[in-house]
């Protein structure tokens, strides 16, 4: 069977899509392809200059694109509330929500203004709160909601006694926890939508290893020597063998967001080389992601942390 490509994306005319963190990387490529297929796009991101630049680049590539920037900092709950309120004020249903924004393996523990550890806050808590607050519009649009996970979830454990890793912060386990949480959230959201009649379809995607800004902005942010090694050795020699482009990494996300044959509760990813690269298709979720009791416990703990409840 031929591989799934952007040619498989059905016409999206009349649909309204929000893609978080779509100023670069997989988010930008997702927004671009959805715009190409006629969807109206909201670039939801924290940096207005990068946001307006993404809008310009999409308009250059797709002159008919309906695309605009809306400020959203997922690490700031007030920003999440303000963004959701602006969307709710329009009263317009949302057809696609892609919870894509993320940071990876920040070398030292950072804390948001709300008191949450930065990786958990950006990757998971912000998206949980955003989805809860947008629920009326997602229900109205019978939306497809896509959560971004990662093969890093394999090593993830949910530290229920200390979700914020107040003690013993280690960059990678904390990232892995946030991506496991996104996978558990996406699967649980689909179960709860079916049980409560919310009418949305929740699918989880991972890009494999896509060449984006994620590494430079995370683990290498304060490591000039490793940055140089990356630029001289890893980037040109090793990375091409084990990774693919940001556009290829966006394909599982696009498949999850648009392919009607992908059912709610599915997990879609890159399918070759231990899911590091290759065409999109079914991905393997580790047992800890499929533990429904743990997913329910995480859901309740997250609602309590955020003071946000589904449905609002
Ligand atoms: N690349 C991979 O191989 C890979 C593998 C597995 C999973 N993923 C997941 O894929 C998603 C996209 O990552 P990427 O690889 O495309 O990385 P990227 O190029 O660094 O893009 C990340 C995006 O998230 C945005 N962002 C970060 N913090 C934010 C915040 N607080 N509020 C709003 N936006 C924020 C960034 O905005 P700024 O431009 O302002 O920084 C950027 O637009 C992430 O969830 C990541 O965990 C990536």
Catalytic residue among 28, 124, 169, 175: 175
Q: Is residue 175 annotated as part of the catalytic site, yes or no?
A: yes
Protein residues with CB under 6 Å of any ligand 1 atom: 20-21, 23-27, 45-47, 50, 72-75, 100-104, 122-123, 148, 150, 206-207, 209-210, 212-214, 217, 249
Q: What is the pLDDT of residue 312?
A: 63
Largest Cα–Cα separation, the chain: 53
CA of 140 to the centre of ligand 1 (A): 28
101 Cα to the center of ligand 1, angstroms: 4
Nearest Cα residue to atom 17 of ligand 1: 214
List the domain boundaries for the chain: 9-303
Distance between CA atoms of 88 and 136, rounded to whole angstroms? 8
pLDDT tens-place string over residues 69-126: 999 999 999 999 999 999 999 999 999 999 999 999 999 999 999 999 999 999 999 9
DSSP 40-81: EEEEEES-HHHHHHHHHHHHHH-TT-EEEEEE--TT-HHHHH
d(CA 148, CA 113) in angstroms, rounded, equals: 24
Least confident of 121-125, 135-139, 165-169, 232-236: 232-236
Give the nearest ligand 1 atom to 209 CA. Answer: 3
Whether residue 11 is predicted with pLDDT greater than 80 in this model: the reply is yes
Return the CATH superfamily for domain 9-303: NAD(P)-binding Rossmann-like Domain (3.40.50.720)
């Amino acid at each position: 069977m031929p591989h799934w490509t952007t040619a498989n994306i059905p016409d999206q005319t009349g649909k309204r899509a929000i893609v978080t963190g779509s100023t670069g990387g997989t988010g930008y490529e997702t927004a671009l392809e959805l715009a190409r297929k006629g969807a109206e796009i909201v670039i939801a991101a924290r940096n207005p200059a990068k946001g307006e630049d993404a809008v310009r680049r999409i308009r250059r590539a797709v002159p008919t694109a309906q695309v605009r920037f809306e400020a959203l900092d997922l690490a700031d709950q007030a920003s999440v509330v303000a963004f959701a309120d602006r969307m709710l004020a329009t009263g317009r249903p949302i057809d696609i929500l892609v919870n894509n924004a993320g940071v990876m393996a920040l070398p030292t523990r950072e804390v948001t203004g709300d008191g949450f550890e930065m990786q958990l806050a950006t990757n998971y808590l912000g998206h949980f709160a955003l989805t809860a607050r947008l629920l009326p519009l997602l229900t109205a649009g019978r939306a497809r909601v896509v959560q971004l996970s990662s093969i890093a979830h394999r090593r993830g454990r949910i530290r229920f006694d200390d979700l914020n890793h107040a003690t013993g912060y280690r960059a990678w386990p904390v990232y892995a926890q946030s991506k496991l949480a996104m996978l558990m959230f996406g699967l649980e959201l689909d179960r709860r939508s079916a049980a409560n009649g919310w009418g949305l379809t929740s699918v989880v995607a991972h890009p494999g290893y896509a060449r984006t800004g994620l590494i430079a902005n995370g683990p290498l942010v304060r490591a000039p020597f490793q940055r140089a090694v990356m630029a001289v050795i890893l980037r040109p020699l090793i990375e091409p063998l084990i990774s693919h482009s940001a556009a290829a990494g966006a394909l599982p996300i696009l498949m999850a967001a648009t392919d009607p044959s992908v059912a709610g509760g599915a997990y879609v990813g890159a399918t070759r080389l231990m899911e590091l690269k290759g065409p999109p298709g079914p991905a393997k979720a580790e047992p800890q992601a499929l533990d429904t009791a743990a997913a329910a416990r995480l859901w309740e703990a997250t609602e309590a942390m955020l003071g946000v409840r589904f449905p609002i």
